[in-house]
Amino acid sequence: MYRKITYCLQLSTSNSDEYYQTISSFAERSIELIKRSHPEIISGFCEYLHQTGLPGRSDVECAFELLALGVYLKEYREKAHRLSPWVNFLLNLLVASRIHWPKSEALSKMLSGWVNGLAWFGHGKSGKDNEILELITWLKTSGENIIAERFNKWNDYFVERNDLPAKDVLILCLDLADEFDRSSREVLGKYTENVDQFLSTAALEHRWMYDARLVYKTRLEYHLGMVGTEILNSVYRQRFLSTERKVVIVPPCMSAPDVKCKADETPFGAKCNSCSPSCRVNQITKMGKKHGFDVFMVPDDMKIFNTGGKKGTIGVVGISCALTNWNGGWETGLLDIPAQGVLLDYVGCKYHWDRAGFPTDTNLKKLRAVLAIGSKS
């Protein structure tokens, strides 16, 4: 039996069908509103990408990126502004150590948690006047380089325009975030009612831990993640459907308890060994055998699925929580792997959300629709 820790997509029923109907219409309305409100900004950014030889993006994706920039500025600009040089140096050093010396990951993450914890009490001030650049610097201290790079392109675009002072850009972005905060609470707030309680209680235990930045995220960021998954699914949909091979990536928290799981390790991630009939990973694996897709638990590095520039080979479906799913689309996109996302209906991972942990779940009807395999398992 699961507990509602932060968000939950299952409300009055035992499934999340209602959520997927709700998010589909809300995401579309939200992005259309941004496109109508700032058509010149969106079209100008698309043209900037073209002129600078960068990969093109649809106006829908650009509108979502602008929204994401606004939300991150609203949530983190004060923390970014207070980032002291010594914290910045230490955290970037620890990020680099995890890349160059993978065996140091456990120690590096523990030290990062301590440094971040000390930073809560700091009053340092970065030397930049540009708040987007401050945010980008802050994101890199936790290794969020893909998001940072997306925002960096927007900063370059705004700087090149010359007709928008930095303060006007900030006001534009914050206004977008404020409006989205209001509208998303009205529509999606029923799914995230427990987040505030979690932030004021259990999350406090994570202040000195590596995952503090994840577990301290607000309802606004859950709502951004929900919309982000929906939007990026639409952006990458046709490329995903045209791929020859489909792979579903599931999180370990969906499996039976660790002491029972007998999954076999492979270069692509753990592969279910069908040890427990009630295990959701086992059920999805059996579905894959019937319909021709592979199922793996999260691999150490998504680059394992990179086909070396041979397009149309592999499409990936990632199942994960509302906070992490959407930016996985940007990660796989950077590797030229078209992806689709399906959310966990709730969280239960013992590493972040619950000390004991319990199996999480996802909507199989939605998974079938994403894979375009019909309604019967």
* Cβ proximity of 140 and 95 under 8 Å: yes
Q: Where are the chain's structural domains?
A: 17-225, 238-371
User: In the prediction, which pLDDT does 120 show?
Assistant: 67
Q: In this predicted model, which residue has the larger pLDDT, 49 or 118? A: 49
Q: In this predicted model, which residue has the larger pLDDT, 347 or 311? A: 347
pLDDT-based confidence at residue 105 (cuts at 50, 70, 90): confident
Q: Which tens digit of pLDDT belongs to each residue from 139-173?
A: 998 889 999 999 999 999 999 988 888 889 999 99
- Contacts by 255-258 with C-beta closer than 8 Å and gap 24+? 255/279, 255/280, 255/281, 255/282, 255/297, 255/359, 256/281, 256/282, 256/359, 257/357, 257/359
User: In the prediction, which pLDDT does 108 show?
Assistant: 81
Q: In this predicted model, which residue has the larger pLDDT, 236 or 269? A: 236
Q: Which tens digit of pLDDT belongs to each residue from 201-260?
A: 887 888 878 788 888 999 999 999 999 999 999 999 999 999 999 999 999 888 876 557
Q: Which of 113-122, 279-288, 352-361 has the lowest mean pLDDT?
A: 113-122
Output the pTM of the full model: 0.91
pLDDT-based confidence at residue 128 (cuts at 50, 70, 90): low
Q: Which of 44-58, 89-103, 181-195 has the lowest mean pLDDT?
A: 89-103
pLDDT-based confidence at residue 85 (cuts at 50, 70, 90): confident
d(CA 191, CA 218): 13
CA distances (Å), origin 329, targets 23, 94, 155, 166, 370? 17, 25, 21, 29, 14
**What is residue 294's three-state secondary structure?**
strand
Amino acid letter at 274? S
Instruction: Decide if pLDDT at 191 tops 50.
Output: yes
Q: Report strand pairing: 293-297 vs 245-250.
A: parallel
User: In the prediction, which pLDDT does 64 show?
Assistant: 97
Instruction: Decide if pLDDT at 27 tops 70.
Output: yes
Both tokens assigned to 111: 């030290």
Instruction: Decide if pLDDT at 9 tops 50.
Output: yes
Q: Which of 98-112, 177-191, 295-309, 362-376 has the lowest mean pLDDT?
A: 295-309
Q: In this predicted model, which residue has the larger pLDDT, 98 or 199? A: 199
User: In the prediction, which pLDDT does 258 show?
Assistant: 58
Q: Please, what is the average pLDDT of the chain?
A: 88
User: In the prediction, which pLDDT does 377 show?
Assistant: 46
Instruction: Decide if pLDDT at 66 tops 50.
Output: yes
The enclosing H or E element of 296 equals: strand 293-297
* Cβ proximity of 138 and 91 under 8 Å: no
pLDDT-based confidence at residue 126 (cuts at 50, 70, 90): low
Task: Enumerate residues 6+ apart whose C-beta is below 8 A from 124.
Answer: 82, 83, 84, 85, 86, 87
